[in-house]
Amino acid sequence: MSAYKAMAARLLLLAWFGMVNAFAQTPTPAMPPASPEMEARLKLLETELRCLVCQNQTLADSPAGLAGDLRREIRLLADAGKSNDEIKEHLRARYGDYVLYRPVVNAKTSLLWFGPFILLLGGAIMVWMMARQRRAASLAATPAISADEAARAQALLEGNDGPPH
Partner 1 sequence: MARAWRYFLPLAIFFGLLAFLWKGLSLDPRAIPSPMINLPAPAFTLPQLHAPEKTFSAAEMKGKVWILNVWGSWCVSCRYEHPSLNRLAKQQLLPIIGLNWKDVPADAQGWLAKFGNPYTLSVSDAEGRVAIDYGVYGAPETFIIDKNGVIRMKHTGPIDEKILEEKLLPVIRELQK
| Positions that interact with partner 1 (CB under 8 A) | 23-26, 28-29, 52-53, 55, 65-66, 69-70, 73, 92-98
Distance CA 133, CA 136 (A): 5
Q: Which is nearer to partner 1, 26 or 142 (CB)?
A: 26
Nearest distance from residue 92's CB to partner 1, in Å? 7
82-90 contacts, C-beta under 8 A, 24 or more apart: 84/41, 84/44, 84/45, 87/45, 88/45, 88/48, 88/49
- DSSP 8-state secondary structure symbol assigned to residue 24: -
Q: Which is nearer to partner 1, 40 or 119 (CB)?
A: 119
Nearest distance from residue 11's CB to partner 1, in Å? 20
Q: Which is nearer to partner 1, 34 or 66 (CB)?
A: 66
Distance CA 37, CA 76 (A): 15
Q: Which is nearer to partner 1, 29 or 36 (CB)?
A: 29
Residue 67 · residue 27 · CB < 8 Å: no
Distance CA 89, CA 78 (A): 13
Nearest distance from residue 64's CB to partner 1, in Å? 9
Quick one: which H or E segment has residue 76? helix 65-79
Distance CA 109, CA 23 (A): 40
Q: Which is nearer to partner 1, 3 or 19 (CB)?
A: 19
Nearest distance from residue 24's CB to partner 1, in Å? 5
Nearest distance from residue 36's CB to partner 1, in Å? 26
